[in-house]
Chains A and B, each alone.
Chain A
Amino acid sequence: MFDLILMALASGILMGLIYGLVGIGMNILYGVMRVVNFAHGEFMMLGAYLAFSLNKGFGLNPIQSIIIVIPIFFFLGLVLHTFLYERIQRSDDPEVASFLVFFGCSLIITSLILQIWNADPRSIPFPFETVSIFMGPIFLPMGRLISAGICILVILLLSLFLYRTYMGKAIRAIIENREAVSILGIDVHKVSAIVFGGGLAIVAITGCLVTLSFPVITPVQGQIYTNIAFLVIVLGGLGTPLGALIGGLVYGIAESLSSVFMPIALSPVVAFVILIFMVMVRPQGLLGKVSTRI
């Protein structure tokens, strides 16, 4: 039993890093643009399916696909930004409007995936020699270890970008106070275009990593990841990009521990229950100070 819990903890931490990265993408989008990306998980699945096709067509493994998928999604983000951003901001309630628009996008993407790749579960043949490594009583799947490693790398690069560059500072400033920033002469429109592209690029990375961490991908998984992303950013606090990492770890551990003690069919309930509980009791997140948005 003790071994089981230890193993659940270890896999929870590995998965938590990926969930954290999923949440960070969404959190930056929300923080900068007040855009609620309800299609987050669907964009992620689109990335995963692209990785699948790149593997099938060109024999690339998911890690090599990341390099190709990033510019595609960055460009997609720029295109979407041009079409959607202005109009959403002009509506009466931008947050709810964006929520519904992206819900529409999620339906479109799901149906697109169904058209191109069918509803069959797909998987990418595992590209590495060792399938898993043992550390004492715990065994760690290699795919998840590598994904977690890449997640840490991306998160490090992202924090360097957010805290050390001019653009990163502008992004954090916009999250804190939009109006003041536009008075100070920062081009909010340009920054948000870059954030939109970057946010989708991060999503695409997680999409590629998912094909390493889980045996199969199906078109309907997107919904689950969108919910996880919501949960993670609510746990970590809206608008604090790196808080999502802590949210991801907390959720990853909670999820894998719950699968030890509860029937597996009920494990998605854990996410929703934590989400409702957090929103009702502590909407500012685990670390947040004061909430002004609720």
Chain B
Amino acid sequence: MDRYSKLIRFSLIVLLLFLALVPIIPVSQPYFFYMMFWVIMASSFNIIYGFVGYLPFGYVMFYGVGTYITAILWSRFQVPIPIAIMMSGAAGVLLALLFAPTLRLKGIYFAIVNFSSAMILRILVSNLPEEWTGGSFGITLTGAYNPVAGYYFMLFLMIITICVALWLSRSRLGIALRCIRDDESAAMVMGINVQMSRLKAWCLAALFPSLAGGVETWFSAIVDPDTSFNMLFTAKTVVYAMFGGLGTITGPIFGSAFMYELDDFIWGHFPLMNLMVLGFMIVFLILFLPKGVIGSIINKRPKLRQIIQ
């Protein structure tokens, strides 16, 4: 076992070094940027759906708010981009707190209300005065375009997200969350503060997508309501996280990396089939592989849980 963990540690370092060198060596920078973006989305989605069992079907709204706050702060108030990104994160958490009352709903009701909230936000953003949000055309941040800085910010953010997820899975809070997911009343009887733990996880799950949204604005230098609040973002996040395995740490990372590659391939070769393949993937995953790849492996060989989480 010890040999394996050494090997894993070594390959992790190599992988991180490679990611750190991407802007210098001649490989596609956007490709790895968006792969890291999806790792962040799937990992933080895992915090709320994998650990707590709440399906936020309007998850894209945190990303969307992140992109817009950064864009508005930079273009209307000349706030430096890194600070604007921090404000995006704060706005995401604020939004999560605003929707905290919906946490008392369960299962499908929570999913639908969350979905509707995202739709409302999208319509509101495209109908706000042009001076603020640029209407349905969005905002172009010509002067802020800095892909290399954006890239390293995203790498940093991805490492933090994974570390937080790792910490969460081992911490008291993480154990409490799993208890709540499996049996809420039992958890309450055991003295777990159900509302508070849930709220913490909800805020964490909101923080990273909004930060990632801000960084993505830096990288692409353009926001518009149709992209920022696109339903497919939620769909992809769900599929990527589920493919790897919800409730595990490596699952969403593996799922995002693999599925992003697959998605990229499909886009490149059969652009019209993209939506259909995504649909079939969702149906297939739910029906035949509900635990995901990593989840199924762990399920079959529980001993492996010591190495892969």
Question: Which residues 47-94 of B sit at the A interface, judged by CB distance below 8 A?
Answer: 53, 55, 57
Q: Which of A91-110 contact B (CB under 8 A)?
A: 91-93, 95-97, 99-101, 103-108, 110
Q: A272-B120, A280-B102, A294-B105 are in contact. List 10 more A-B contacts (CB 8 A).
A: A93-B107, A101-B287, A104-B280, A107-B276, A107-B278, A115-B272, A269-B120, A269-B124, A275-B113, A279-B112
Is the beta-carbon distance between A265 and B113 smaller than 8 angstroms?
A: no
Interface positions of B from 253 to 282, Cβ below 8 Å from A: 272-276, 278-282
B117 engages A276 (CB within 8 Å)? yes
A279→B113 contact, CB < 8 A: yes
- Contact indicator A111/B275 (Cβ below 8 Å): yes
Tell me the smallest distance from the CB of B33 to a CB of chain A, in Å: 25
A100 cross-chain contacts in B, Cβ below 8 A:
55, 238, 282, 286
**Per-residue CB proximity of A34-72 to B under 8 Å, as 1/0?**
001000000000000000000000000000000000000
- B192-206 vs A, Cβ < 8 Å mask (1 yes, 0 no): 000000000000000
Q: Say whether B186 faces chain A, with CB atoms less than 8 Å apart.
A: no
Least Cβ distance of B126 to chain A in Å? 8
Chain A residue nearest to B281 in the complex (CB): A104
With A104-B280, A104-B281, A280-B101 as given contacts, are A99 and B111 in contact (CB-CB < 8 Å)? yes
1/0 contact string of B92-107 vs chain A (CB within 8 Å): 0000000001100111
A-side contacts of B238, CB under 8 Å: 100
Contacts of A92 in B (CB 8 A): 290
B194 to chain A, nearest CB (A): 16
The interface residues of chain B lying within 8 Å CB-to-CB of A103 are 235, 282
Label chain B's interface by main secondary structure.
Answer: helix
Interfacial residues, chain B to chain A (CB-CB below 8 A): 53, 55, 57, 101-102, 105-109, 111-113, 116-117, 119-120, 123-124, 126-127, 231, 235, 238, 272-276, 278-283, 286-288, 290
- Given A106-B279, A273-B120, residue A101 in contact with residue B109 (CB < 8 A): no
Counting chain B CB atoms within 10 Å of each CB, the highest count among A36, A91, A96 belongs to: A96
Tell me which residues across on chain A come within 8 A of B120, comparing CB atoms: 269, 272-273, 276
A42 and B109 CA atoms in complex are apart in Å by 20
A residues near B (Cβ < 8 Å) are 36, 84, 87-88, 91-93, 95-97, 99-101, 103-108, 110-112, 114-115, 223, 227, 230, 263, 265-266, 268-269, 272-273, 275-276, 279-280, 283, 294
Q: Is the CB of A101 within 8 A of B282?
A: yes
User: Contacting A266 at CB < 8 Å: which of B53, B123, B286?
Assistant: B123
Q: Are B108 and A265 in contact (CB under 8 A)?
A: no
In the complex, the answer to whether A279 meets B283 with C-beta atoms within 8 Å is no
A92–B111 Cα distance when bound, in Å, is: 16
Asked if A272 contacts B119 (CB within 8 A), the reply is: yes
Determine the residue in chain B with the shortest Cβ distance to A271.
B116
Number of A-B contacts (CB under 8 A): 108
Q: Is the CB of A96 within 8 A of B102?
A: no
**Cβ A265 vs Cβ B279 within 8 A:** no
Q: Is the CB of B107 within 8 A of A95?
A: yes
Given known contacts A107-B275, A112-B276, A91 and B286 CB-to-CB distance under 8 angstroms: yes
* Distance from B96 Cβ to chain A, minimum over Cβ atoms (Å): 16
CB neighbours of A108 from chain B (8 A): 275-276, 279-280, 283
- List chain A residues, Cβ under 8 A from B282: 100-101, 103-104, 107
Residues of B within 8 A of A91 (CB): 286, 290
Q: Give CA–CA (A92, B53) in the complex, Å.
A: 11
A-B CB contact pairs (8 Å), 29 listed: A84-B287, A88-B287, A92-B290, A96-B108, A97-B286, A97-B290, A100-B55, A101-B282, A101-B286, A103-B235, A104-B283, A107-B235, A107-B276, A107-B279, A108-B283, A111-B272, A111-B274, A111-B275, A265-B126, A266-B123, A269-B123, A269-B124, A275-B112, A275-B113, A279-B112, A279-B113, A280-B101, A280-B113, A294-B105
Min CB distance, A187 to chain B, in Å? 23
Q: How far is the CA of A192 from the CA of B202 in the complex (A)?
A: 37
Complex CA gap A100/B278 in Å reads 12
Q: Which residues of B contact A263 (CB under 8 A)?
A: 127
* A263 shortest CB reach to chain B, Å: 7
Min CB distance, B184 to chain A, in Å? 13
Chain B residue nearest in CB terms to A102: B283
Nearest opposing residue in chain B for A273, CB measure: B120
A29, B290: Cα distance in complex, Å = 23
Assess whether B108 is in contact with A104, with CB atoms less than 8 Å apart.
no
Q: Are B276 and A87 in contact (CB under 8 A)?
A: no
Q: What's the Cα separation between A273 and B124 when bound, in Å? A: 12
Q: Which residue of B lies closest to A107 (CB)?
A: B279
Q: Which of A92, A95, A104, A294 has the most CB of B within 10 A?
A: A104
Most buried by A among B102, B119, B280, B288: B119
B122 CB to nearest chain A CB (Å): 10
A156 to B223, CA, bound (A): 50
Cα–Cα distance between A95 and B124 once the two chains are bound (Å): 30
Cα distance, A265 to B279, chains bound together (Å) = 29
